[in-house]
Amino acid sequence: MLTWKKGRRPARPRTGASRRLLAGTLLALLVTALAPPPPAAARAPDCPPGQNDCSIWGDDPGNPGDPGDPGGGNGGGEKPPAARCQWNGKPVACYNEFLGWFNNADGCYYKLAEPQPPNAPEGSKWYVQTCNGGDLGQQTTVLLATPPPGFGAPPDPEELARRVLARLSLLPPPIAVAPRRDTGPGLVGLPVWMWLVLPTDEPDERAKYLGPTITESEEDRGLRVELVARFDRIVWNMGNEVKITCTGRGTPYDPKGRHAGKPSPDCGYDSGYPKAGTYRVSATTYWSVSWRGGGESGVIPQTRTSGTIPIEIDELQVVTR
């Protein structure tokens, strides 16, 4: 906006300059209108269908954090053990049903060629060799007098356990709160209720949300692994740096029930929000997944985090007469 002192007016731009300024402004607006929208913020790649945690196949996700830290964390403990099979510093499957067994020494998979080409020396066999950590573009057939290191070995027990874990499909919690935005705002200092809305009454399906336990097993090439997933807790992030830990699904709020207007009997923010605002609430479930097989055992901590839902809180109005 142009401003000037009293009694003085700004100099009127010359007609040609004014037209050029107007044309430049219109051109800038046109470019802005036609420009593609800015790219969305980067996010983690989607998991494969039926798998709700892409980290299952990656590095050790670490130990769960304290009840006030739904993000988990490494807890400052020991570093996870190195993967049995690696390529360029990254873990790879020690066995692949299409490529065969992995040889750490050269980074190649080996599988017996079928059918075997003729004229092989006695005791030698032809192998399909896939190098560069399984790159199908680096595949050839080689003749070896003895099987390569690792060939024919059973799978790594933890690798097999993680395969079973991916099949369990632990699900993120479907959450609800009261007061709800669609029925009106809550008030400062009044209790907030939190609970899970499980979409089914079928026991096996409900267990995927909060257990209490899920058991599964698998056998591969003579190795059997048993896995038990135990629900531990659910941590609610109230959107204002307050976190509430509950041990179960919580109780749905009933405005006509005997606890109406009172704190939740099992899962709530009893003191309520200290000031007005709109807050975004989320929840994270914690699981302890233990496995054993092949003379080994271990624990693979897991978390599942919900989306967020808004909750609106207004000031408590005091009426005086």
State the alpha helices, DSSP H only, in the chain. Answer: 15-34, 157-168, 203-210
pLDDT over threshold 80, residue 23: no
Across the range 246-266, mean pLDDT stands at: 92
pTM score, whole prediction: 0.63
Cα–Cα distances in angstroms (integers) from residue 41 to residues 37, 52, 114, 308, in the given order: 12, 21, 48, 17
Rounded CA gap, 122 and 23, in Å? 85
Where are the domains positioned within the chain?
A: 86-144, 156-314
Confidence at 177, pLDDT banded by 50, 70, 90? very high
pLDDT band at 169 (very low <50, low <70, confident <90, very high): confident
Tokens 């142009």: give the residue: 2
Checking 159-164 for CB contacts under 8 A at 24+ apart, the result is 159/84, 159/93, 159/94, 160/218, 160/220, 160/223, 160/225, 160/293, 161/225, 161/227, 161/291, 161/293, 161/298, 161/300, 162/56, 162/57, 162/300, 163/218, 164/216, 164/217, 164/218, 164/225, 164/227, 164/291
pLDDT band at 244 (very low <50, low <70, confident <90, very high): very high
Model confidence at 34, pLDDT cuts 50, 70, 90, reads very low
85-111 pLDDT, tens digit each: 889 988 888 888 899 999 989 999 999
